[in-house]
Structure 1
Amino acid sequence: MNHKPGRKSFRERLDHFVNKLRTDILSGVLAPGDYLPAESALAKQFQLSNKSVRKGLEGLVEEGLIRKIDRVGNVVLAPDQERIRIHFGFSSTLFKDFLLDDLIAEFHRLNPGFHVLPLALRDYDSVSTGVELIQNGMLDVISLNSSQFQELAELGAADLLEELEPAPGLYPIATEAFSERGRLHAYPISLSPVVLCYNRRHFQEAGLPEPDSYWTWDDLIASAEQLSQARGRHAVYFPPASDNRYSVFLLQSGLTAAVDSAGAATLSAETAYSLEVYSRLVNNHRIFPKYMAGSYEDETIPLFVSGQVSMILTTYFNLNEFKNLELDYDLAPLPTLKPRQPQKTLLVTIGAAVAGNSREKEAARQFVRFLASEVAQKLIRERTVSIPARKREAEMTPGGALNRPSRYLMYRELFPTFFYHRDLGVPIGVLKSFRKLLNAYWSDMMDEEALYAAMGGLIGEHRDN
């Protein structure tokens, strides 16, 4: 199977060309009086014809961003009016998750008097950094995913965000992620459950049936054993200590503590069983790569694309890595812990909020409303594999030639199985402590009894308070 990137469509290349120049002009990378490179050089750089480059430049002329001077070139113009600046804090992954730069460029096109200034926040401390920036008046808009908003609310900082009016047309479960005490603090932009993604060709070559909704984790392990034997490679991977992966098992079992025979805290039998199954999977190094244990999310995709593994646990956001590849893949619901058990999976929703102390509050509101609007949501559906938060646009049939899985719309039947981290009943801080304990356990620095005691103690301590 050829895994080389496929050619982007003409429309995508032209849009990228125009968006890049527009962003460079608005951000000051290209200053008033600067000349653009020659049309022939732009054509080569962006893989377009000279005619297409001229067409794109004509649009920038109409927007008043450049002026064409015959036999001289294209010069950047000074803005006719001072643009309103919107400082936007976001996770860098949003460029991949739903082509944030395309959305910002479209907002600029529709609102030429506004200028969005993106500021990438570090993923590992984005909540604390975002809170600090908002308190210091340095952000007008901030993007948050569902767990980050939960953490922000648990810090008592939800009131730093402006209350928003309900927006009709969005999936209700998406707006629920950003509601606190009956107040909506962010508009959802995109959502995704954690799902099983698999290489169809690998299953066909091994003579195995493809995953289905009846699979248990034992079924996955059994199929992985056969795939590994047939292919001589590992079969399944995901970052074991990811809060968006191990928590799925805890959601499926329920997170409850118990008291052992000596009166000490431990995990309930049901919760302990979920971690036992999880450990049987990630510690089986015939099927699960040992050297990858504890690594970051971005290492999952290269393993899958290169054929080193046949199955991954992932989100629709990460499927954007495949959208221009010739890769025969599909999706299935996550397996369950036991046969006939109701399915449960984690839902991750990404939204945007207005800082309550923004000096450009109405402009910030307009930008956030745009991200949840029909225009922006349609762009997400047409140009990415992510799921828009607006129902009508999410379920439309898009054009284009992106490599989407045949079961893309599977998520529509799974809404009753979607849960957030908050449904575990413990704060995000406790989940982060779980992650550290699990890393210690998988590194043989803690035995099973100590792990269960530590986790049970954290649950009991929180719920006693």
Structure 2
Amino acid sequence: MSYKSDRPSFQERLDHFVNVLRTEILNGIRQEGTYLPAESALSKQFQLSNKSIRKGLDQLVEEGLIVKIDRVGSMVTTSAKQSIALNFGCPISLTTDFLIDDLIAEFGRKNPGIHVRRITLNHLSYVQSAEEMISNGLLDIVAFNSPQFQEWSEEGLTSLLEPLESDGALYPIAEEAFQHEGEIYVKPITFSPVVVCYNKKHFRDAGLHEPDSYWTWKDLVSASVKLAQSRGRHGVYFLPASENRYSVFLLQGMGNRPYSTQGDAGLSPRVAEGLRTLNELIGNRDIFPNYMAQGNDETIQLFADGQVSIILSTYFNLNEFSHLKLDYDICPLPSLRRGDPQKTLLLSIGAALVKHSKEKEAALRFVEFLSSAQAQNFIRERTVSIPARKESAEKPLSDGSLTRPSRYAMFREMFPSFAYHRDTGLRMKDLRQFTKWLKEFWSGMIDEQTLHSKIAGLYAANANDDQEEEILGAKL
């Protein structure tokens, strides 16, 4: 079974047709005064009916890019050159997170004189790629998720962005991810906590009750053992070295002070407990496969194919199941101990306006559109992602065309448990160092005491840096 739809929908094929022609016209590939191919040729090329081709051409007429001449054809107009072109830097994942190409197309319909080019940035060096392109005047808008913006601000790059006004219609916690020194630099579009995603049928077949908010990680391990015994396959999987996954164990063990002069080599006992819980879980070969996934897509594939029964997921990931008849649901993450307050990692995504954009007014219009009621309702209706606009996120839906978890609205009760990467007390570059040490420990290159000592030293160094900043700030 494939977790992706094998055939694009009619609307996707129609939008693709319009987007291709629009881009070719605005980029000068099809020059003014030239004619488009005949409708029959376009129909064959884009695998659409003549009626659909005419519908797409009518849209280009409305945008002022072509004119239809009776008995002659469709001609590229001179006004096409007058369109404003905006460069939007973003990761490729936005195409599934909230169908960014469809939103760009909708924005184009509302703003015929503005063309948005989506430019994919390197996800492995996202901040560096965005900085270089902005410095060279190649971007007008740039997308950030919360850890990317944390790194952006830690690198002192917020001056490259235009401060934005707060929007009271958006969830405040979504805006909090993008604040720095009292200013908001990114307009939130969507957000998601890390949650447990589980196969309901597997639980029924194993005679297990579905997980709930009372679960601890020991309960998850116990259920995974029974699932593995019932099915002859592993019970649980996630990317151990992902900073969007292992950080939840760090957050759950932190308390008020992440480091201490007592405990394991200077690491607080509760943080050590969180790390041991993580290590014991992923080291249990009866329930956790020794699978070297290259990315989260492979985790989603394992779950969709029934290879595992439980994964750690975000609402963004659930979009991969939206067109499958998959009997699944979600629940909050387990806690370290019974009765502990729930805690999970929150990821937010938004768009920022480049300060020195030559088309700032048009760029701001696009940024504002992505958080508007129209775009946010689109996200709610066409995806499983959570819109940042409260009214849209809590909008009831009668359309059952997408496979959504029955506990979709669960996030509304989870707000007190949300935390960002910055709440680990570490910078993003420190978390990458943290990841390297975890890999060394899992590979047997360092022992647990060495791991804890290194981590405690990292926290101590951060505490000293924070104290120096406070002292410097007081002097200033």
Counterpart CA distance in 2 for 1:92 and 1:83 is 25
How many percent identity over aligned positions? 56
> Could you list the per-position Cα deviations for residues 398-448 of structure 1 after superposition, in whole angstroms to 9, with x for gaps in the alignment?
436111111111111111111111111221111111111011111111111
**Aligned match of 2:346:** 347
Partner SS, residue 192 of structure 1: strand
Following superposition, the deviation at residue 94 of structure 1 comes to 0.8
Q: What is the RMSD of the two structures over their aligned residues, measured on CA atoms? A: 2.3
Q: Which residue of 1 aligns with 2:471?
A: none
Call closer, same or farther: CA 1:441–1:34 in 2, change over 3 Å.
farther
2:377 corresponds in structure 1 to 378
Does the 8 Å contact 2:346/2:419 carry over to 1? yes
Contact map agreement 2:238 2:299 (CA 8 A) in 1: yes
* Alignment correspondent of 2:225: 225
TM-score, scaled to structure 1: 0.92
Query: Which residue is equivalent to 1:443?
Result: 443
Q: Match of 1:85, SS?
A: strand
CA contact (8 A) 1:228 1:234 kept: yes
d(CA) in 2 for partners of 1:397, 1:29: 44
Does the Cα contact within 8 Å between 1:88 and 1:142 map onto a contact in 2? yes
Give me the whole-angstrom Cα distance separating, in 1, the residues matched to 2:290 and 2:379. 36
Question: 1:329–1:128: structure 2 CA closer, same or farther, 3 Å change rule?
Answer: same
Q: 1:67 offset after TM fit, Å?
A: 3.6
Partner in structure 1 of residue 306 of structure 2: 307
Contact preservation (8 Å) 1:347, 1:420: yes
User: Cα distance 1:238–1:36, how it changes in 2: closer, same or farther (>3 A)?
Assistant: farther
Question: Structure 2 CA distance, aligned partners of 1:220 and 1:443?
Answer: 24
**For residue 421 of structure 1, what is the aligned residue in structure 2?**
421
2:216, 2:334 within 8 Å by CA — same for their partners in 1?
Answer: yes
Measured in 2, the distance between the counterparts of 1:91 and 1:319 equals: 18
What is the deviation of 1:133?
2.2
Alpha-carbon contact 1:22-1:105 (below 8 Å) kept: no
1:354 to 1:416, Cα distance in 2 relative to 1, 3 A: same
Q: State how far apart, in whole Å, the 2-side matches of 1:385 and 1:420 are.
A: 21
Match of 1:297 in 2: 296
Which runs of no fewer than 5 residues in structure 1 stay unpaired? none
Whole-angstrom CA distance in 1 between matches of 2:382 and 2:77: 30
Give the direction of change, closer, same or farther, for the CA distance of 1:355–1:71 in structure 2 (3 Å limit). same
- Deviates most, 49-58 or 417-426: 49-58
1:224–1:42 distance in 2 versus 1, CA, 3 Å: farther
Distance 1:115 1:18, change over 3 A: closer
Q: Aligned pair in 2 of structure 1 residues 461, 110: CA closer, same or farther (>3 Å)?
A: same
How far apart, CA to CA, are the structure 1 residues paired with 2:73 and 2:208? 61
CA drift at 1:101: 0.7
C-alpha displacement of 1:102 = 0.9
- 8 Å CA contact 1:5, 1:326 repeated in 2: no
Q: 1:355 to 1:337 in 2, by over 3 A?
A: same
- Say if 1:243 and 1:83 are closer, same or farther in 2 by CA, change over 3 A: same
CA contact (8 A) 1:6 1:325 kept: no
Task: Name the counterpart of 2:468.
Answer: none
Counterparts of residues 35-434 of structure 1 (less than 5 Å)? 36=36, 39-40=39-40, 42-43=42-43, 48-69=48-69, 73-254=73-254, 256-259=258-261, 265-292=265-292, 295-398=294-397, 399=399, 401-434=401-434
In 1, Cα distance between the equivalents of 2:221 and 2:387?
A: 32
Contact 1:19 1:102 in 2 (8 A): no
1:368 positional shift: 0.9
SS at structure 1 position matched to 2:284: coil
1:347-366 deviations in Å (ceiling 9; x for gaps): 10011111112222222211
- Relative to structure 1, the CA distance from residue 230 to residue 2 in structure 2 (aligned partners, 3 Å threshold; closer, same or farther) is farther
Query: In the TM superposition, what is the alpha-carbon distance from 1:59 to its structure 2 partner?
Result: 2.4
Q: Over residues 23-56 of structure 1, what are the superposed CA-to-partner deviations in whole Å (9 max), with x where a residue is unaligned?
A: 4443455554665555456556666543333233
Deviates more, 1:304-313 or 1:390-399: 390-399
Partner of 2:469: none
- CA distance in 2 between counterparts of 1:96 and 1:138 reads 24
TM-score normalized by structure 2? 0.90
The alpha-carbon distance between structure 1 residues 283 and 46, as it changes in their structure 2 partners (threshold 3 A), is farther
After TM superposition, give the deviation of residue 329 of structure 1 in Å: 1.2
> What SS is found at the alignment partner of 1:79?
helix
Between the aligned partners of 1:424 and 1:177, the Cα distance in structure 2 is 14
Aligned in 2, Cα 1:87/1:267: closer, same or farther, shift over 3 Å? same
**Mean Cα displacement is larger for which, 83-92 or 267-276?**
83-92
- What amino acid sits opposite 1:308 in the alignment? Q
